[in-house]
Amino acid sequence: MYIQSLQEVFGPEATFREGQNEAIKRLLHKKRVLVVQKTGWGKSLVYFLTTKILRDKGEGVTLIISPLLALTRNQIDSTRKYGLVADCINSQINKTLPEKKEVIERCNHGECDVLFVTPEQLQNDNFKDLLSQLRVGLFVVDEAHCISDWGHDFRPDYRRIHQLLKILPKNIAVLATTATANERVIEDVTKQLGDCEVIRGDLQRESLYLHNLYLPNAEQKYAWIAKNINRLQGSGIIYATTIRECERLAIWLRQNAIDARAYHGRINEEDKIELENQLTNNQIKVLVSTIALGMGYDKEDISFVIHYYTPKSVVEHYQQIGRAGRGIDQAVCVLLYGGEDENRINKHFIYDSFPKQVQIDQVLNYLSQNDEVKIATLEQVMNIKSKTLKQILKLLLIDGFVGKNGSSYFRTLKHYYSQQKYYDSIINLKVQEYNELLEFQRTKDCQMAYLTKALDDPNTRPCMKCSTCLGEAWDLTDDYVSHDEINRVAKFFAENYIIIEPRKKSMMTNKNLNFIYEEGLALSFYHEQLGQEARRCKYEMNQFSDLVVSASADKLRRFIRDKGLKISEMIIIPIPSNRRPELVPQFAKRLANRLQCNYVNNLAKKPNEPEQKSLQNNSFQEQSIRKHLYIKDRVNLDNQNILLVDDFVDSKWTFTVAAELLGEMYNDITITPFALSDTSGSD
């Protein structure tokens, strides 16, 4: 019925995939439709072709709620082949209300056919008023699983879509699309969007060749990637957890003559666009990315996706491998898993995914007893992580339990009912899904069938292409990693500096610190062999091994030399601990002997200090260190270069306050921190 419109865009031979024509027909009849189809099926074709037909009839613009800027940029490019003009409103481009108003006016004057909006924009009542003035023909919620608390990538701002639907015209078509919705999520999405007709297809991805491989530490993973990346044709994506891991892995690949770049949330938008274009045009071999390059990025010939980390669910894994093999017959997707630290981090994120009821009650009680309050004030009086505090305020704001005036929050009159049982049920489900992912890693059955079954696909069947289906016939990767290859990585880790960046402002006063330490050094990341060795030494042996001392001395010699200083002129000062009073001082003393430099133990802590990890935000961490850390002996350290030594570094407040204490007492000193392992992982 709509084949002519399709062929105008894609040529006379073009045909619809199963379900596309049906979805377009229902939308043109002003229905509400939820499309659950595999990645690469062509969900965007449905809403762009529908838009083209509606605009030809003189109807309003298509309003699309889209979760990621990378996805929005990608789709704006896609609209051009349909002869459509697209624009977007997000925090990066149009920051003021007049700028947003100008975009809305262009849409209403027929200068724009498609308007992309990020869900975070919906928190502004003035902007919602603007949207109510927009002449809309089709309303689209892309990546609709984000609406659902049960979805793997729940975004609280998506909850506002239900409110937006109330102010949009009643007679417009509504389309929600996703590739990663099981029955529970489908039920939740249809409930929130209203009476939706569901079009559900086969989730099997015929072009994907899946492979799971156990490699217990970073050294083996790096070695495997360097060995195999050029065996994989074309260009692709490696997913890593943290920004620093993306950066370091990209450096390692470049040192192995592989054109790799890091992609993450701290890169500015212009550079992100350039990286996306380079990958799209096959000008680079691989992007090493956080989930910032996840949902919806559409490049037809991505030929491989490698997971350096373990995803938190099979649904998340399916979403990310869905970037590959959209327009080619073969794409390899490898999950490298292993190591205790991966499980620790993932479970931490899962249990942290929703706030605790006691934390919500704290916020509500404080707001009830005080007039308008800023986040900075709440952080100073509540031992709650900044991220969790923002999440609590967002959830309470969306549901109307608090209001917002500028940057200040206040309690409304709406009665609050405890949500803890509900949140607990979601967390329990996420734990089950993570355990399901751990089983997936070790499955002896078809990997693709395992994934589609987890998504409640009734068409689940063996793919006959994954490494478990093929068994010994699998030859797309070479999984043997030799000692020499591992040693090359260990050498790279030893020579590659993990920098401890200095903090520059007090969280208590928001003023610049009086004394700021130099860039410091961490020997390892926690999940590497040396990081795990340090963990065992601390928690199981209560002393650090000769291996740790030797590796620390070797790396420090190079680092201090590269800073233009002499190691023999450094003075080592250990960070004290009440729980293990001899652990770090004994290590620091042995390190000083190995480096042949002076050792001074003149820092101490007052008793009854709470554990640093029990303090949830920067303000509480800084307050505690300032309250308990002091200089016990007044020795002459004027005009000296000091090396502050600790075992693990996370928040950096201990180093920060220790440096400030010493810097205020002594003249013309430099202070460089050193830690055995960087355990932050929260970037």
Q: What pLDDT, in 10s, does the model give residues 640-651?
A: 999 999 999 989
Average pLDDT, the chain: 89
> Tens of pLDDT along 152-188?
666 778 878 888 888 888 889 999 998 888 888 888 8
**CATH number of the structural domain 497-678:** 3.40.50.2020
Question: Is 674 within 8 Å of 642 (Cβ atoms)?
Answer: no
Residue with the bigger pLDDT between 580 and 406: it is 580
- In which band, very low, low, confident or very high, does the pLDDT at 573 lie, cut at 50, 70 and 90? very high
Looking at residue 683, its pLDDT comes to: 38
Three-state SS annotation for 280-332: HCCCCCEEEECHHHCCCCCCCCCCEEEECCCCCCHHHHHHHHCCCCCCCCCEE
Percentage of the chain exceeding pLDDT 70: 96
The CA distance from 308 to 310, in Å, is 7
> What sign does the CA torsion over 630, 634, 640, 643 have?
negative
Tell me the C-alpha to C-alpha distance, in Å, between residue 314 and each of 14, 450, 451.
33, 9, 6
Q: Say whether pLDDT at 151 is over 70.
A: no
What pLDDT is attached to residue 66? 83
Question: What integer pLDDT is reported at residue 152 of this predicted model?
Answer: 64
pLDDT higher than 80, residue 613: no
In this prediction, residues 615-625 reach a mean pLDDT of 88
Name the residue with higher pLDDT: 634 or 341.
634
Of 291 and 243, the one with more pLDDT? 243
pLDDT for 94 equals 61
Q: What is the pLDDT of residue 259?
A: 96
Average pLDDT over residues 208-236: 95
Q: What is the pLDDT of residues 200-215, one digit of tens each?
A: 999 999 999 999 999 9
Asked if residues 21 and 181 have their Cβ atoms less than 8 Å apart, the reply is no
Q: For 138, how many CA atoms within 13 A lie in the half-sphere containing its CB?
A: 31
pLDDT of residue 296: 55
Tens-digit pLDDT profile for residues 72-124:
776 777 888 899 999 888 776 666 778 888 888 999 998 999 998 888 888 77
Domain chopping of the chain, boundaries:
3-200, 208-346+440-483, 350-422, 497-678
- Write the DSSP string, 399-440: TTSEEEETTEEEE-SPPP---HHHHHHHHHHHHHHHHHHHHH
pLDDT for the residue 682: 39
Q: Which pair of structure tokens corresponds to residue 81?
A: 């082949």
pLDDT at 341: 62
In this structure, of 50-59, 65-74, 422-431, 594-603, the range with the lowest mean pLDDT score is 65-74
Per the CB < 8 A criterion, the answer to whether 535 and 607 are in contact is no
For the chain, percent of residues with pLDDT exceeding 90: 57
Instruction: Look up the CATH architecture of domain 3-200.
Output: 3-Layer(aba) Sandwich (3.40)
Give the residue-averaged pLDDT of 541-568: 94
Note whether 3-200 and 208-346+440-483 share their fold. yes
Region 516-544: what's the mean pLDDT? Answer: 91
Supply the pLDDT for residue 420.
85
Task: Give, for 35, the enclosing helix (H) or strand (E).
Answer: strand 32-36
pLDDT for residue 443: 94
Average pLDDT over residues 528-534: 88
Is the distance from CB of 150 to CB of 73 less than 8 angstroms?
Answer: no
Q: Model confidence over 5-27: pLDDT tens digits? A: 888 888 888 899 999 999 999 99
- The tens digit of pLDDT for each residue in 668-679 reads 999 999 999 998
Q: Are 155 and 167 in contact (CB under 8 A)?
A: no
CA distance 513 to 511: 6
The pLDDT of residue 257: 96
- CATH class assigned to 350-422: mainly alpha
Question: Can you tell me the mean pLDDT for 30-56?
Answer: 91
Domain 208-346+440-483, CATH 3.40.120.10 — does that match? no
Q: What angle do CA 610, 507, 376 make, to 5 degrees?
A: 100
pLDDT at 580: 93
Angle between helices 43-56 and 3-10 (to 10 degrees): 110
| Arithmetic mean of pLDDT, 387-414 | 91
